[in-house]
Amino acid sequence: MDALDSPPTSPVTSLLTAVFTPFDEDGGLALDTVREQADALAGWGCPAVYVGGTAGEGASLTSAERMALLERWCEVAAGRFDVIAHVGHASLAEARTLAAHARLAGVRAISAVAPYFHRPANAEALADYCAALTAAAPDVPFIYYHIPSVTRVAIPASAFLKAARGTVPTLAGVKFADGDLADFQRCLELAWDGCELYFGNARLLLAAVGLGARAAIGSAYNFAAPLYLRMLAHVERGETAAARDCQFLAQRAIDTASGYRGELAGFKAATKLTGLDCGPCRPPLTALDEAELADLRTRLTGIGFLPRETA
């Protein structure tokens, strides 16, 4: 199933994974690990990966590293799932260079956050910025990445959609990584054929599905995809209570992992506990030490997220 071409008609939402960037102990790219990541994702039917975004620590990579990482993902994904390249950058020129490279690499779509140092004043300025960026890849679908908690760009995604529809010819959707469900619902109402809303807050996915979300992008699916797939199966069968139980367990797992050195470090550690080691984070983020990792294993087992036989 290609979530970018054919959104599902059933209530079940497609889970697209915002993948981690694997590093070795010295902080360099561990590109050999990408094949293992891809095999794990293909194993549960992930339709697409989102490369170089928040989970991928894209802002901590050089442009050359981002290009090498993307090329590796396109290589290992070929024929198995789509690749979406995050090309956002504080520099428009760098973002355009990354967009042009992504086009040549063969991605299914490009995506970008709003400029996060010198910020746009309004939705029209943001739309103009995205138009200039996407002109470097004029035949590649563009997904705007709305994550105000990180960028501090508080322009509602719905306001951006209104401003960008006539300004960004390749606009194909929004990655909505926020908890404002009212704004998300406004976006759903504004969306047109060929414009998809990708919900990006795993803690609230069940609520978003209730509003009509048909696709999601998130880093939690690196380690919690089986639980979320189970939740969505309950939704499809109308088993509301069971779906709520799954969402609550997912929230507890997310909160537990996030309690160790922050969400990204905790999520990478949880992924390691489920069988895939993507290495440490890049400074200024820090990875869990062995004692913290053991404690995380115990706590995730205690809440029923990890099976006891792995503890």
Our CA dihedral for 5, 81, 107, 12, rounded to 10 degrees, sits at: 40
Q: How far is CA 245 from the centre of its chain?
A: 23
- 11 to 7, 14, 39, 197, 238: CA distances (angstroms): 10, 10, 27, 14, 10
Name the 3-class secondary structure at 206: helix
70 in a structural domain: yes
pLDDT band at 12 (very low <50, low <70, confident <90, very high): low
In total, how many domains does the chain have?
1
Q: Residue 172 maps to which CATH number?
A: 3.20.20.70
Residue 67: domain span? 14-225
Q: Is the pLDDT of residue 73 over 70?
A: yes
Q: What is the pLDDT of residues 236-290, one digit of tens each?
A: 999 999 999 999 999 999 999 999 999 999 999 999 999 999 999 999 999 999 9
Looking at every residue in the chain, the average pLDDT score rounds to 94
Cα–Cα distance measured from residue 246 to residue 231, given in angstroms and rounded to the nearest whole number = 5
Which candidate in 50, 129, 175, 221 is catalytic?
A: 175
Q: Which residue has the tokens 């300025």?
A: 125
Non-local CB neighbours of 164 within 8 Å, separated by 6+ positions? 123, 126, 127, 130, 131, 144, 171
Q: Where are the beta strands (DSSP E) in the chain?
A: 14-18, 48-51, 82-86, 109-113, 142-146, 171-176, 196-199, 215-218
Half-sphere exposure of residue 15, counting CA atoms within 13 Å on the CB side? Answer: 28
- 116 as an active site residue: the answer is no
Average pLDDT (20-49) is: 97
- Residue 63 falls inside a structural domain: yes
Q: Quick check: pTM over 0.85?
A: yes
Rounded distance, CA 206 to CA 226, Å? 15
Query: Does residue 200 surpass a pLDDT of 70?
Result: yes
For residue 72, tell me if it sits in a domain. yes
Q: How confident is the model at residue 13 (pLDDT cuts 50, 70, 90)?
A: confident
Please report whether residue 51 resides in a domain: yes
Q: Establish if 236 belongs to a structural domain.
A: no
Residue 289, amino acid? D
Is residue 247 a part of any domain in this protein? no
- pLDDT exceeds cutoff 60 at 1: no
Is residue 3, in this structure, part of any structural domain at all? no
Per-residue pLDDT tens over the stretch 138-185: 999 999 999 999 999 999 999 999 999 999 999 999 999 999 999 999
Q: What percent of the chain has pLDDT over 90?
A: 94
Q: Which of 50, 129, 145, 228 is catalytic?
A: 145
* Confidence class for position 9, pLDDT limits 50, 70, 90: very low
Mean pLDDT value across residues 76-99: 97
Section 202-221 average pLDDT: 97
Residue 307 lies in a domain: no
144: annotated active-site residue: no
